[in-house]
């Protein structure tokens, strides 16, 4: 079963890397596509790429040989690969949050459109995960330097990584609900001349569904699944479905973008 899951998420991440690399190239290559919104998209795309690459490297290092006892396996290389995997996983969540914050402020017409503010977002998206990852590294080195740092069940220090991710998912979900509320107002059929209620429903449904992969709203389910849920099911939901998220985001926010087309 786990071999099947690994094959599926390997295919998913490979497709995501290819599509995201092409999307980043397109957004950088064409001058008319250069704007704060697309700059933020590029940063998010890069985190998806780097997270996928980090996962491939970690798998290659940890599972290089089948006869190795992975629970006691401990080398500098494997610890570094786990660190980068956790770091890029956290940066991915932070840039999903940046996307949500930016869109929320844009719809409320409260976002200052200066380059200086874009760099503050860059600092948050990359700097915030760096701080917590560095703190986690030192706590592991001095208090819990066991195995390959990939087993964190019951470890209080794991909250240095897991805590910010859970908070970002929660904030993203709140922003998602708020933006759906704003869309309900902006697409009010009483103010806009829709031909019928079906057209209104389709427009609202499309707008809402497009936000789910960009905000990572599905992670609200993954993070709050009860611990007793079957491990195989959790792996399938988190790895198999999550591995294709980068591909979906690239398609929706680059290849199907009217400006790009």
Structural domains present in the chain: 2-255 (1.20.1070.10)
Residues 6 or more apart in contact with residue 200 via CB below 8 angstroms:
187, 189, 192, 194
The pLDDT of residue 98 is above 80: yes
Q: To 10 degrees, the CA torsion angle through 220, 223, 225, 229? A: 140
Distances (CA, A) of 81 to 58, 65, 70: 5, 16, 14
Contact (Cβ atoms closer than 8 angstroms) between residue 54 and residue 78: no
Q: Is the pLDDT of residue 114 over 70?
A: no
How large a percentage of the chain has pLDDT more than 70?
Answer: 70
Residue 134 above 70 pLDDT?
A: yes
């Amino acid at each position: 079963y786990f071999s099947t899951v690994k094959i599926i998420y390997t295919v998913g991440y490979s497709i995501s890397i290819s599509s995201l690399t092409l999307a980043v190239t397109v957004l950088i290559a064409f001058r008319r596509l250069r704007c704060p919104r697309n700059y933020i998209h590029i940063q998010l795309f890069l985190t998806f790429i780097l997270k996928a690459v980090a996962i491939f490297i970690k798998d290659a290092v940890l599972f290089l040989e089948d006869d190795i006892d992975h629970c006691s396996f401990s080398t500098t290389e494997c610890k570094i690969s786990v660190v980068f995997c956790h770091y890029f996983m956290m940066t991915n969540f932070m840039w999903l949050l940046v996307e949500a914050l930016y869109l929320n402020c844009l719809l409320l017409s409260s976002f200052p459109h200066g380059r200086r503010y874009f760099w503050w977002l860059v600092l948050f998206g990359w700097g915030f995960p760096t701080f917590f990852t560095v703190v986690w590294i030192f706590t592991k080195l001095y208090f819990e330097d066991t195995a390959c740092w990939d087993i964190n069940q019951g470890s209080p220090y794991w909250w240095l990584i897991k805590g910010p991710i859970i908070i970002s998912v929660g904030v993203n979900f709140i922003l998602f609900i708020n933006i759906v509320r704003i869309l309900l107002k902006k697409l009010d059929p009483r103010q806009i001349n829709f031909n019928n209620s079906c057209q209104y429903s389709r427009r609202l449904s499309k707008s809402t569904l497009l936000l789910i992969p960009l905000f990572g709203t599905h992670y609200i389910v993954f993070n709050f699944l009860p611990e007793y849920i079957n491990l195989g099911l959790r792996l399938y939901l988190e790895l198999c479905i999550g591995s294709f998220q980068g591909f979906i985001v690239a398609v929706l926010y680059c290849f199907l973008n009217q400006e790009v087309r």
